[in-house]
A = this chain, B = another copy of it.
C-alpha cells in the first residue's frame, strides 16, 4: 500500500439468546495477524502516509473490573505488540472525519455489527460500504497472509497435532450403539482441554455423503462407516483440519475397502504432485482423474476418463474441491473473497459443477499451507437427478451405480506445507492406510470374523 489509511476492525462479543449471553469470543483473523490483541472492542488504523499506527479501544471501568477482573491498560497491551498510540473508541469517528485527501481502505465486513460501524463512521449506506471495499487492501493482506512464516508453520503444526489428538480419541472411542454427539463431546473435550477450541463446527457422521453435516443425532451401527472432519484451533487461533473415515466396527466391508482405497490413491497422488509452480486446479483435476479411474475399475464410470473429467462427470461423486488454504482461518482468508485468495487475474474460478466449489485454483507457492481432501460421495438425491436426466451417461453406468446408492461417503484429509521442492505433511502422521485404521479399530472393538 503506497498511501492511504488502513482500517482494521476487530470483532465484538456475539450474542446467543440475549445480549450478554455470549458465544466464545473470536477475534478477526486479519486483526490478529497485524495486531495480535485477542479481545473485543478494538479498531486499529495504519496511516501509510504519516507512518502512524493507532489502536482505538476503552479500558475497563472499575465496575467492569468487578465483574470481569482486571486487565492491563490498553496502552500497555498496545505497547507489547509494538503500537505506541492508543485512543478511546469514541475518537474513531473524529479521526476518520479528519482524514483529508487520503483513501480510507477497509476489508469486507462479515459480521453485521462491523458493517454497521463502517456505515456510521463513514456516513455511508450498507450498499455504499459494499461497493467501497478496497480491492487493493484485500490483495495486500492476501499476499502477506498467504505465505506462512516459520513461526506460523510451528503454530499451525501445533493446531494440527491437537487435531490429531482429537481424531485418535474418536478412533479409539467410537463403538456401535454410541450417539454421534457423544463423540462430538469427546473431540470438543480434547480441543478445549489442550487450551484451544474447534476451528469449525465438527462433522461427525455416519452419513458421510452429506458434505457439511452438522447433525449429531444418529446412532453408530456396525457395518456403517463414521466420517470425522474436524480440527483444533490453537490458543493463538491457528487452525488444524483433518478428516478420517473409519469403520464403525473393526473392519471395512469389501466395497467400503474398495472405495476407500480409491480415495486414498487420489490423496497420495495429489500429495506427490504438490510443489511450487503447479496450479492447484491441475492437482484437483489429476486427483479427480484418479478417482474416476478407480470408479471405472468398479464399473461405475466408463469411457474416456480425460473426457469424463473434462466434462465434469466425476463430480457426481466428488462434488467439492480438493483442498483450501489454512492458517488463522480453517478456510484461510475466506472473508476476503475466494477470487483473491484462491485465484488471480490469469485464473478465474470455473463455473462447472464441482470445480465451482474448488476454493484454491492458482499456482502453489513455497510457504502456502493447504489441505488435501479427496472424497467419494454417493448422494441419493443427486444420483436420482442425474440418472433422471441421463446426465453424462457416456461416462456413468447408472445400472452399476444403483448398487452404491446407499453406500455413504468417504473422505480423507491432511494439512501440508508447500516447501522448496514439494510438500510436507504437517504434524504427527495419523493412521490413514486401511491396515493402519483397521489395526487401530481391532484394538478397540476386538477382531471379528
Contact = CB atoms under 8 A, between A and B. Distances in A.
Contacts of A26: 16-17
B110 A112 contact: no
A66 B17 contact: no
Contacts of A182: 193
Interface in A116-160: 116
A272 B195 CA distance: 41
A113 interface: yes
A339 B348 CA distance: 56
A437 to B, nearest CB: 23
Identical chains in the assembly:
2
Interface in A184-210: 184-186, 188-195, 200-201, 207, 210
Nearest to A71: B215
Given A23-B14, A331-B18, A382 B66 contact: yes
A334 B67 CA distance: 18
Interface in A7-29: 14-24, 26, 28-29
A62 B17 contact: no
Given A185-B192, A193-B181, A17 B335 contact: yes
A73 interface: no
A370 interface: no
Given A179-B195, A185-B191, A329-B17, A381 B70 contact: yes
A68 B213 contact: yes
Contacts of A21: 200-201, 329-331, 334
Interface band, chain A:
35 or more
B184 A193 contact: yes
A76 B99 CA distance: 56
Contacts of A29: 17-18
- Between A14, A185, A212, the greatest number of chain B beta carbons within 10 A of the residue's beta carbon is seen for A185
Contacts of A181: 192-193, 195
A29 to B, nearest CB: 5
A38 to B, nearest CB: 11
Contacts of A329: 17-18, 21
A385 interface: yes
Interface string A321-361: 00000001111011100000000000000000000000000
B22 A201 contact: yes
A316 to B, nearest CB: 11
Contacts of A184: 192-193
A189 B192 CA distance: 9
20 contacts: A15-B111, A16-B26, A17-B26, A17-B328, A17-B329, A18-B331, A18-B333, A21-B201, A21-B331, A21-B334, A22-B201, A66-B210, A69-B210, A182-B193, A184-B192, A185-B189, A185-B191, A185-B193, A188-B188, A189-B189
Return the 10 tightest CB-CB contacts between A and B, nearest first: A185-B193, A185-B192, A189-B189, A18-B335, A69-B210, A112-B112, A18-B334, A23-B23, A185-B189, A16-B26
